[in-house]
Chain A
């Protein structure tokens, strides 16, 4: 009897393993097909130089290319520039453009377009990212395929600033009509935009990467309501959606939706205003850290889809990420003791502001507030609508504590300079001369080893000074029909669907 069971069990095991192997190995890429991708908001225009919004770059990143490209690891790769060299003084950058690239309207891409685009993305009052390119002193075009940029001062982050969607190359002379009729060199060309309904893109058959893209057509459907978005995905009215809420993962999987997770370049934290009492006291800030069970917040707010951070650096920026999670362990008794030392033996009462409609931050805040009670900190929750949050907290610094998240960047300094004492995005009121000096040094240090040391010191300062209660970097959760493959997330705003394909039915 046993002899007979064994072979059949073996067979079942083999079949099971084969099934697993088939599942783990995506099917071979195939050209053709249409993808309906759900977005949450109508794009804020499709002009990459005139919008800071994610809603723009989710679409525009597929229409345009930049001089420099990046991958899932955040490495800088050739984009429309095939190669580049940096002069030893760190001031002159020479880019050799890729030959034979054409815009969707058939015109050839050349140095004139690059020069025009650089000027257009640096226009103050019009380009939201103009300040990033203030450093460019002059742009020369010695020939049709060469662009020479001279900087006002050396900048180690400059190359990475050319890799974002807002550094897209547009045709020379393109004006305001790019907002509604974008023309780029990217893998997909623009077909139509019906406001608040959808944007349709079609395959660019002349794309400079041979054999890409795979898809014939992408329709970005605008579905603002979360329930409706998930339902459409389950019903098969849409093929793909990102920003899936963590609590929906199990339900979607049981409905036959493929769910994938990707580490994202994001940071969530309890921001603390150190200009306000009692938060100007380091002991109080450290007490808040010890009073927060961050693993429980990660589990409760996003079902564990993410990784804890101990400073303002997401793990996805692997070259610079320091794991400082062990610095402040959850310890309410220690928190109470620190509060007592700071003169608050009975704790204190405060207001914790939470931004709507960001459920992840609101939920995190609710959990944090209940945890703080054990240390004697009574936080009253006030939910602010996003526009009001920006006004009160980000602009006027009129707060004590809030839960919020930020989107990371490719270069560590772009992240870390937020905490410079004289920086208007520093709504934490953190002012530390030592920190400012290190930022200045890292900003101009091209030597990677040396730069890594300086950045590590900055990360440690943000941890030691308990500038915020650092929470976590969340995963991007993407749902799709089972035949959709090839997607990956970039550590910059926007999605590229260059490698996405639909398997044979």
Chain B
């Protein structure tokens, strides 16, 4: 892996972040809605508006507001929330113990379910099992995760009473209960992504299975499991890894809705709160953070190609 490749990737990463921050800032100011007015609502005497805007600093020129936000990013605060009056990074860090395990578990579920099903479908290409996998994954992709979430609540919380219908118990209080609270939301989120993984893995397995080296391996008498798992799967993983990398955005987006339904105090809830309250610095800090996370993970995915296939890094 060459240093130039790494440097080029890093430079594009920073440029992307700069563009993201400017675009977010400008878009937020164009969207109708005044954070001060939302704080006051429609039932507070009107005279307070200008004073509140001044106290929040939202009456300052746009350039000053942007620069003060950049300064705050440099200080590592990612801005100061208008509503919480606290550094955005603190608010984010508070919610990571919910959202990271949630998305991590969902990702795990999607792989544990998606990969074997995809591989199996490809091996049994054209059989009933293959069609069942295709049908299943199509249904999985069509079902919104929030609907699946509600169905899970009805089944496992309301009827069977195996799991809590929502809410949160912190890891420090009871890791077992925390896991219980994450189980249904992670499944709801993970299964939808599993559907994508099945389709992707099946397609790329089918493609690789047609390659000459697979035929050669089979001709040489390599046992079938070794053909599948050592030769084919390793090569078929690259497109799947790409898809999984791109799913990080989907996962975090899905977390917004799933956390709302299961009353989980995670990043998704913070995003919704920030948007509905036009908490500009909070939205901006969150978008920046999620952009760093997504771009960073895809950066790792890029690096993993180079590792999976050394020809990419040298190109």
A51 and B44 CA atoms in complex are apart in Å by: 10
A128 near B40 (CB under 8 angstroms)?
yes
A128-B39, A131-B47, A392-B32 given; A196·B55 CB < 8 A: no
- The B-contacting residues of A in range 423-454, CB under 8 angstroms, are 423-425
B52 near A195 (CB under 8 angstroms)?
no
A52 and B276 CA atoms in complex are apart in Å by: 16
The listed residue with most B CB atoms (<10 A of its CB), out of A52, A132, A196, is A196
A390 and B264 CA atoms in complex are apart in Å by: 28
Q: Which residues of B contact A275 (CB under 8 A)?
A: none
A329 to chain B, nearest CB (A): 29
A137 to chain B, nearest CB (A): 18
A47 and B54 CA atoms in complex are apart in Å by: 20
Set A222, A224, A237, A406: member contacting B42, Cβ < 8 A:
A406
B38 near A390 (CB under 8 angstroms)?
yes
Against B, the Cβ 8 Å flags (1 = close, 0 = not) of A128-167 are: 1111100000000000000000000000000000000000
Against A, the Cβ 8 Å flags (1 = close, 0 = not) of B1-45 are: 000000000000000000000000000000111100111111111
A99 and B122 CA atoms in complex are apart in Å by: 81
The listed residue with most A CB atoms (<10 A of its CB), out of B32, B44, B263, is B263
Set A45, A234, A390: member contacting B158, Cβ < 8 A:
A234
A128-B52, A237-B157, A424-B49 given; A228·B40 CB < 8 A: no
Chain B interface residue count, Cβ-Cβ cutoff 8 angstroms: 53
B265 near A425 (CB under 8 angstroms)?
no
A197 and B94 CA atoms in complex are apart in Å by: 12
A130 and B47 CA atoms in complex are apart in Å by: 9
B276 near A222 (CB under 8 angstroms)?
no
Residue B270 is within 8 A (CB to CB) of chain A in the complex: yes
B113 to chain A, nearest CB (A): 25
Set A126, A237, A388: member contacting B55, Cβ < 8 A:
A126
Residue A30 is within 8 A (CB to CB) of chain B in the complex: no
Set A51, A195, A391: member contacting B37, Cβ < 8 A:
A391
Q: Which residues of A contact B48 (CB under 8 A)?
A: 124-125, 128-131
A125-B52, A129-B44, A424-B49 given; A231·B263 CB < 8 A: no
B265 near A222 (CB under 8 angstroms)?
yes
Q: Which residues of A contact B199 (CB under 8 A)?
A: none
Against B, the Cβ 8 Å flags (1 = close, 0 = not) of A332-363 are: 00000000000000000000000000000000
A198 near B167 (CB under 8 angstroms)?
yes
A225 near B263 (CB under 8 angstroms)?
yes
B150 near A227 (CB under 8 angstroms)?
yes
Against B, the Cβ 8 Å flags (1 = close, 0 = not) of A117-129 are: 0000000111011
B152 to chain A, nearest CB (A): 11
Q: Which residues of B contact A388 (CB under 8 A)?
A: 31-33
A221 and B272 CA atoms in complex are apart in Å by: 18
B47 near A424 (CB under 8 angstroms)?
yes
Residue B164 is within 8 A (CB to CB) of chain A in the complex: yes
Residue A456 is within 8 A (CB to CB) of chain B in the complex: no
Set B84, B170, B261, B276: member contacting A387, Cβ < 8 A:
B276
Against B, the Cβ 8 Å flags (1 = close, 0 = not) of A378-396 are: 0000000111101110110
Q: Which residues of A contact B165 (CB under 8 A)?
A: 228, 231-232, 235, 237
A231 near B158 (CB under 8 angstroms)?
yes
A124-B51, A125-B55, A196-B269 given; A222·B44 CB < 8 A: no
Set B38, B47, B95, B164: member contacting A196, Cβ < 8 A:
B95
Q: Which residues of B contact A235 (CB under 8 A)?
A: 157-158, 161, 165
A53 and B273 CA atoms in complex are apart in Å by: 14
Q: Which residues of A contact B262 (CB under 8 A)?
A: 228
B265 near A195 (CB under 8 angstroms)?
yes
Chain A interface residue count, Cβ-Cβ cutoff 8 angstroms: 48
Closest to B173 in A: A194
A486 and B60 CA atoms in complex are apart in Å by: 50
A42 and B272 CA atoms in complex are apart in Å by: 12
A130-B48, A232-B166, A387-B278 given; A227·B261 CB < 8 A: yes
A44-B83, A179-B85 given; A197·B42 CB < 8 A: no
A232-B166, A235-B161, A237-B157 given; A128·B37 CB < 8 A: no
Q: Which residues of A contact B277 (CB under 8 A)?
A: 387
Residue B46 is within 8 A (CB to CB) of chain A in the complex: yes
A102 to chain B, nearest CB (A): 29
Residue B143 is within 8 A (CB to CB) of chain A in the complex: no
Residue B168 is within 8 A (CB to CB) of chain A in the complex: yes
Closest to B91 in A: A195
Set B32, B167, B264: member contacting A391, Cβ < 8 A:
B32
Residue A407 is within 8 A (CB to CB) of chain B in the complex: yes
B44 near A128 (CB under 8 angstroms)?
yes
Residue A223 is within 8 A (CB to CB) of chain B in the complex: yes
Residue B58 is within 8 A (CB to CB) of chain A in the complex: no
B34 near A390 (CB under 8 angstroms)?
yes
B262 to chain A, nearest CB (A): 7
Residue B154 is within 8 A (CB to CB) of chain A in the complex: yes
Against B, the Cβ 8 Å flags (1 = close, 0 = not) of A189-208 are: 00000111110000000000
A423 near B43 (CB under 8 angstroms)?
no
A51 and B83 CA atoms in complex are apart in Å by: 10
A228 and B152 CA atoms in complex are apart in Å by: 11
Set B43, B166, B276: member contacting A223, Cβ < 8 A:
B166
B283 to chain A, nearest CB (A): 12
A340 and B104 CA atoms in complex are apart in Å by: 66
Set B94, B167, B269: member contacting A237, Cβ < 8 A:
B167
Those 7 A-B pairs whose CB atoms lie nearest each other, nearest first: A387-B33, A424-B46, A196-B265, A125-B51, A125-B55, A197-B265, A425-B46
Known: A196-B265, A232-B167. 16 other contacts (CB 8 A): A44-B83, A132-B45, A194-B168, A198-B167, A222-B265, A225-B260, A225-B261, A227-B261, A228-B153, A387-B33, A388-B32, A390-B33, A390-B34, A390-B38, A391-B37, A424-B47
Pick 26 A–B contacts, CB within 8 A, sort by A.
A42-B265, A45-B84, A53-B39, A125-B48, A125-B54, A126-B55, A128-B48, A129-B45, A195-B91, A196-B265, A197-B263, A224-B263, A225-B263, A227-B150, A228-B261, A231-B157, A231-B158, A234-B158, A237-B157, A386-B276, A387-B32, A387-B278, A388-B32, A390-B33, A391-B37, A407-B43
